[in-house]
Amino acid sequence: MINHIIMSKFIKLTNLILNTNDIHRIVIHSNKYLIHVVSKKLDGFSWGIGGFGLGNISSYTSEIEVCKTNHSTDYKIVSDWIENQ
């Protein structure tokens, strides 16, 4: 039996190291990327009586903007990462 170890991949930007497993989506514009990152924090509640109930659970998504003009080094790093996927 062969065991595989799956390693997390990271993108190292100027001021941030981003775990690629946390990327929910990337919106591509002509001169920038909007990277949506899902938080591991969950909030929720439930309320019930006699087997019936109400509940809610939610997570949070943050957005990282990488602009070609303002963050040219990071823009190239993200572009190269996208091309290699």
Closest CA to 77 of 16, 7, 2, 5: 16
Provide the domain limits for residue 62.
11-83
Q: Give every CB contact of residue 72 below 8 A, 6+ residues apart in sequence.
A: none
pLDDT surpasses 80 at 17: yes
Tell me the pLDDT tens digit for each residue of 19-78.
998 898 999 999 999 999 987 666 666 666 666 666 666 666 789 999 999 999 999 999
| All residues at 6 or more sequence positions from 56 whose CB lies less than 8 Å from its CB, including other chains | 44, 45, 46
26 is a domain residue: yes
Domain assignment present for residue 61? The answer is: yes
Number of domains in the chain: 1
pLDDT confidence of 11, banded at 50, 70, 90?
very high
How far apart, in whole angstroms, are the C-alpha atoms of residue 30 and residue 67? 10
**Residue 46 maps to a domain:** yes
How high is the pLDDT of residue 56? 65
pTM of the model: 0.69
How does residue 84 score in pLDDT terms, banded at 50, 70 and 90? confident
